[in-house]
Amino acid sequence: MPAPGAGIVLGWEDPCAKCEEVLQPFLDRELDEDERAEAERHLDACGYCRKRYVFEERVRMFVRQAVVEEMPPGLKAKLSALRTPL
């Protein structure tokens, strides 16, 4: 398993830090073609960053599902009872 920073990407002085910086834009498909290719090369070579990517991708899936599922009325009432006034 490669160590963090494995898969040095041309132009990325600290590849794991740069990958962390571009991870959200990568997931949002906001990177240009060259940036996306660099991120993909690093993710293919670095197990640590690949795990971060998979985690973020799963969090996004969970959030999308949570948004569409209606909260059961009983749970909603319990949560309302826990609120403290400001």
Q: Which domains occur in the chain, in start order? A: 15-82 (1.10.10)
pLDDT level of residue 2 (50, 70, 90 thresholds): very low
Residue 8 pLDDT exceeds 50: no
* pLDDT of res. 11: 63
CB distance 16 to 49 below 8 Å:
yes
Mean pLDDT of 45-66: 92
The half-sphere exposure of 71 on its side-chain side, counting CA atoms within 13 A, is 9
The answer on pLDDT for 35 being more than 80 is yes
Q: What is the pLDDT of residue 51?
A: 95
| pTM given for the model | 0.62
Mean pLDDT for 31-38 is 93
- Sign, CA dihedral 27-29-31-35, equals positive
Q: pLDDT higher for 79 or 30?
A: 30
